[in-house]
Chains A and B, each alone.
Chain A
Amino acid sequence: MSDTVLAAARPVASRPSVLSRTFQAMYGRLVIIIPYLWLLVFFLVPFAIVFKISLSQTQIAMPPYAPVFSLTDGFGGLLDQLRQLSIDNYLWLTEDALYFNAYVSSVVIAAVSTVLTLLVGYPVAYGMARAPESWRPTLLMLVILPFWTSFLIRVYAWIGILKPEGLLNQFLQGIGLINEPLIILNTNAAIFIGIVYSYLPFMVLPLYSALEKMDYSLIEAAKDLGCPPISAFWKITFPLSFPGIVAGCLLVFIPAVGEFVIPDLLGGSQTLMIGKTLWNEFFANRDWPVSSAVAVILLLLLVVPIVIFQQSQARAIEQDR
């Protein structure tokens, strides 16, 4: 089997022109180089710049940071600039408890929301995977469709529902379940609801694809051998769906840690989440070096889950190949 389309230099039936032959020879390399370069320039290099600026001093200017590493001053200038690099911004992050608390509470909120999303998503994915085959494409489409509508709109929709005089309270008071309106908006509970709601499709889809592949005759066999349904679930279904659980949880957890829109619109002013802190540091305080330092630490925090996610995706490709 030829792995590279290009490497397979096979006899060509018609005689192509020099130009087209050169193009054919370049083809394989271009396919790799174009997206590679794009991602290097617009994905990797920006991180290097964030790191660089996180080490620079704040200045009241535009851009609001002291330049680092410009090669215009020659080698001596470069050394001079190296000496000016400082970890002041990082020290600042450790001095103010606000940042530490924001990191901790982001991770906690994201973790709790991820567990809640799993609890809501698993039965849905299970029900879909066990639905009659003719129903499945429609159900899949129905789960994906909300994902196509704007994130901002879906979060916004919850404001009207969760408000003290909102629809949920009107409903609960209408059926006489509560007398006083529940205060949900501007609390962490609203953030949990927002994250579960917005990220539910990300959880359901990998779970569904894991559960759908499962061979249900295994459950039948377990039942025939006298295994009660619940322990059949824990011994067979759950382990077999584990790759889906890992992928789904990472797809929810990682972006949720840095979430901005949900805590900003549904959480109160005292809600601490690092995405919101970074946003305020950047847009309100205009402190670019400190917001860069916040971003670097956030990235370090997420490097392990991101690598696990990337590995699991790469492994999925290898298996399917």
Chain B
Amino acid sequence: MNARWSPFNVASVTLGLAFLYLPIVILIIFSFNESRLVTVWAGFSTKWYVSLFSNRGLIDAAWVTLRVALISASIATVLGTLAAITLTRYTRFRGRVLFSGMVFAPLVMPEVITGLSLLLLFVAIGLDRGFLTVTLAHITFSMCFVAVVVQSRLLTFDRSLEEAAMDLGAPPVKTFFQVTLPVILPAIISGWMLAFTLSLDDLVIASFTSGPGATTLPMKIYSQVRLGVTPEINAACTILIAVVALGVIAASLVNKRREIQRLRDEQMAQRGA
């Protein structure tokens, strides 16, 4: 039957989205507030952004965060993709149950436990806490998210393409790079972006595993939030939101164009046949 908007459905979706977006919109609006108070509007001003850019500590933290996120997301994407292939393509090997447990458990594991356990590992093996340890920690929890994203794409993937390539004599590695990879690439890209933003956002695990000189932006924001709500934090948050939103929108546009291109190619192929 045809789906259409009933009043109840419109109302519930609208209210749900309003609930999700209103707090963020309010936060952004008050980052442009003239007054120091974040709850009373006193006119438009960009002074908090100006003062933000002269805040050395915040800028340093932002650089650390960005570097951690770039490195950890890239490594997590490789490891997560391998894990996804293992989960979907290798049904029988020793320890498979343990492996799928280790991939899915971090998705729901409370962050305090992950953070504490990783910290104790780093202390036990004598690794100094800092940039490296935060990066390792972020790779570990974000690779599981990448694995889930890529795995769901691999499941809907037409296996006969891979089999055809191998029947024609392509070795497994070549099959992967020439047949599988192009198809699952959008999922890998969104996996990378997910890993990147997870790393950008993380407060709890970073607080446990980071050391002096590797304070990340969420740690900095958190310590300032504890002192009170200020428009400067709103400004910092707005910039973070803008960066992430632009990234997500750009990625979805790229995906859409690829999709259109693919449909056009398919139509051409059918017409040719």
* Interface residue ranges, A against B (CB under 8 Å): 1-6, 8, 10-14, 16, 20, 23-24, 27-28, 31-32, 34-36, 38-47, 49-50, 53, 63, 120-121, 123-124, 126-128, 130-133, 139, 141-143, 145-146, 148-154, 156-161, 163, 165-167, 170, 197, 200-201, 204, 216-217, 220, 250-251, 254-255, 257-261, 265, 275, 278-279, 282-283, 288, 291-292, 295, 298-299, 302, 305-307, 309-310, 313-314, 317, 320-321
Contacts and interface: CB of A to CB of B under 8 A. Distances in A.
B82 A35 contact: yes
A226 B200 CA distance: 54
Contact of A299 (B103, B113, B155, B221): B113
Given A141-B252, A150-B201, A197-B23, A123 B12 contact: yes
A36 B99 CA distance: 7
B166 interface: yes
Given A10-B169, A131-B13, A295-B116, A5 B162 contact: yes
Contact of A258 (B104, B107, B113, B252): B113
Contacts of B6: 130
Contacts of B143: 35, 38
Interface residues of B, number: 104
Contacts of A283: 207
A167 B155 CA distance: 46
A259 B110 contact: yes
B23 A258 contact: no
Helix, strand, loop or mixed for chain B's interface?
helix
A197 B19 contact: yes
Nearest to A134: B3
Interface of B: 1, 3-6, 8-13, 15-17, 19-21, 23-24, 26-27, 30, 38-39, 79-80, 82-83, 85-93, 95, 99-113, 116-118, 120-121, 123-124, 136-137, 139-140, 143, 147-148, 151, 155-156, 159, 162-163, 166-169, 171-173, 175-176, 193-194, 197, 200-201, 203-204, 207-208, 218, 221-222, 225, 229, 233, 237, 240-241, 244-245, 248, 252
Given A133-B3, A153-B240, A197-B23, A39 B99 contact: yes
